[in-house]
Structure 1
Amino acid sequence: MLFEKREEQAILTDLAYANGWMLDVDGCLVKTTKAGGAGGHAIGGAAKLLDWLRRNERKFVICTNASQRTVATYASHLRSIGLDIADHEMMTAATAAGETIARAHPGGRILVVGDEGMLEAIRSAGLEVTPPDASNADAVVVGAADTYSSANLNAACLSIADHGAPLYTSVSSPWFHGGVKRSIAVSSAIAQAIASVTGVQPIVCGKPSRELGESLRLRLSGGNSQIVIVGDAAPAEMRLARGMGAMGVLVLSGATQADELSGLPVDQQPHWVVQDIDELADQLQRVIP
């Protein structure tokens, strides 16, 4: 099912010749119950698509809305299940948060409500991480974690309510879906809890935010080259594609199902739909071996 009034072959040709690609992880490249592909297995065709991208010298980024672990940890797991991903080819919602906050608060003091993935991303962006109970941060950012302390949450609320610190979060979606079953997106829940106390709504840094789109463009093209966004969640990846003027490819192996396509709002409609990443790889190989 297509949403553009163009011949199928023309759309597929545009996809095959696009220079920049973003591939989602959970529900797209990997079937899993945990964010970032943790504990999951590669979906058939994932390695084949990566090989096609490398063979045809396409730039690509593997992008997950996960934020709990470091980029190196997520990339290492993908390699362990047969996907040849270098650390520098991996991007997380924490990475996007670090880059976004650094643009708005260069050299700022940032209170992190999260785990090692967000801590590393903030430091890598040249920002200072405050003690977890510091209540006078320049900005507050929420990422995923297994546990959160009351002292850390209190400091976050005080920094925002008493010192005017903006609130950033990795994601806004209430649910995570890795192609197996859904679970709560904990960072979104924590960010909304802070927002309910302070009255300040969070700035979202992960998919489908404009902030992440800016980071992707810088990594993939730095200019006006065509970019393709591949993912399983229309509210995340397809909305991201539409928002940044990219082409969106929806795989039906995760969150969004075929019976939902006709009801998608305009800003979430894909340009191309496939059953899974294996079908996409086969289609691309028929255009360019």
Structure 2
Amino acid sequence: MTKALAFPYRDVLYENRDARSILTDLAHANGWMLDVDGCLVKTSKAGGAGGKAIEGAARLLDWLRRNERKFVVCTNASQRTVATYAAHLRDIGLDIADHEMMTAATAAGDTIARAHPGARVLVVGDEGMAEAVRGSGLDVVAPDTSDADAVVVGAADNYASANLNAACISIADHGAALYTSVSSPWFHGGVNRSIAVSSAIAHAIASVTGVQPIVCGKPSKELGQSLRRRLGGGNGQIVIVGDAAQAEMALARDMDAMGVLVLSGATQAKDLPDLPSGQQPHWIAHDVGELVNQLQSIVP
């Protein structure tokens, strides 16, 4: 059953439209971005690692395929390669091909390639970021190179002091641009929370160099541009589904997409009345299982 939403900002958000009208727009949208952690997968590690699929996640993917909707599964994770993340999701029952997967690392590679064609890039992170940068046609330099054109920070288990020093020298002495996968301090995949290590490292570099990082993951404009290109350009309606208002809903608002907030991860029902206008969803569901049931009431 379609449920009307009644929160303090409802009239501002929905302009007095009834719930079924909003749901109809969602069900007929042709481009979809689905978050991973806390949305499709309940986990304590980024990219769905070690987690289990949330009930209804596989059915939502099936609904999108049967109804010929374009979609991409997008995570702010950056440590592992796209193929590694996609393979894990398939292992836990989610039918996601490698080419349907996107990470903050792939967004970073795309962003740097657009801004600095042919750049020599110093990666402060792991193979996921290095592969994404190489895949965008850029040169990944040795980890102790101190005259790179750009520095990009991604997640890793360990960071070498020589690598961090080279990053700071490249930025402070040679004018290298600084990029990072994410800027939020915490990661939340539906099971407690943990530090967003790439954000912490990027801001440590910023504190030394005085240069603020350009964010490439959700909710950045850079990622929004990449999604627009992948999901059909500027004419089709795009839906962003995620569990974090400050990430996915902010992204939806910024790129003029429809935001669907699922309450299975970072943002909880108690947080809804205090959400700023730039993070308010267009639709709210308990989880993706409830969402797909609602969509099927409009389009089977």
Q: Distance in 2 between matches of 1:224 and 1:268?
A: 23
Which amino acid is the alignment partner of residue 255 of structure 1? A
Partner residue of 1:210 out of 221, 224, 229: 221
| Aligned residue number for residue 273 of structure 1 | 284
SS in 2 for 1:287: coil
Number of corresponding residues = 289
| Deviation per residue, 1:238-278 (Å, 9 max, x gap) | 00000000000000000000011010000000000000000
Q: Distance in 1 between matches of 2:290 and 2:118?
A: 45
Partner residue of 2:23 out of 12, 35, 45: 12
1:115 aligned onto 2:103: no
Quote how far apart the aligned CAs of 1:224 are: 1.2
Q: Please give the TM-score of this superposition, normalised by the length of structure 2.
A: 0.96
| Aligned residue number for residue 106 of structure 1 | 117
Identity of aligned residues (%): 79
Q: Distance in 2 between matches of 1:170 and 1:263?
A: 27
Quote how far apart the aligned CAs of 1:222 are: 2.0
Which amino acid is the alignment partner of residue 14 of structure 2? E
1:31 aligned onto 2:42: yes
* Structure 2 unaligned blocks of 5 or more: none
Q: Distance in 1 between matches of 2:228 and 2:59?
A: 24
Which amino acid is the alignment partner of residue 261 of structure 1? L
Which amino acid is the alignment partner of residue 258 of structure 2? M
Q: Which residues of 2 match residues 170-185 of structure 1 at below 5 A?
A: 170-185=181-196
Quote how far apart the aligned CAs of 1:107 are: 1.1
Q: Distance in 2 between matches of 1:4 and 1:258?
A: 18
Partner residue of 2:89 out of 70, 78, 82: 78
Which amino acid is the alignment partner of residue 244 of structure 1? M
SS in 2 for 1:159: helix
Q: Distance in 2 between matches of 1:263 and 1:34?
A: 27
Quote how far apart the aligned CAs of 1:7 are: 1.0
Partner residue of 2:176 out of 165, 171, 190: 165
| Aligned residue number for residue 287 of structure 1 | 298
Q: Which residues of 2 match residues 89-168 of structure 1 at below 5 A?
A: 89-168=100-179
Q: Please give the TM-score of this superposition, normalised by the length of structure 1.
A: 0.99
Q: Distance in 1 between matches of 2:236 and 2:149?
A: 35
Q: Distance in 2 between matches of 1:223 and 1:260?
A: 31
The runs of 4+ residues in structure 1 deviating greater than 3 Å are none
| Deviation per residue, 1:79-100 (Å, 9 max, x gap) | 0000000000000000000000
Q: Distance in 2 between matches of 1:245 and 1:274?
A: 20
* Structure 1 unaligned blocks of 5 or more: none
CA RMSD of aligned residues (A): 0.5
Quote how far apart the aligned CAs of 1:4 are: 1.1
Q: Distance in 2 between matches of 1:70 and 1:59?
A: 22
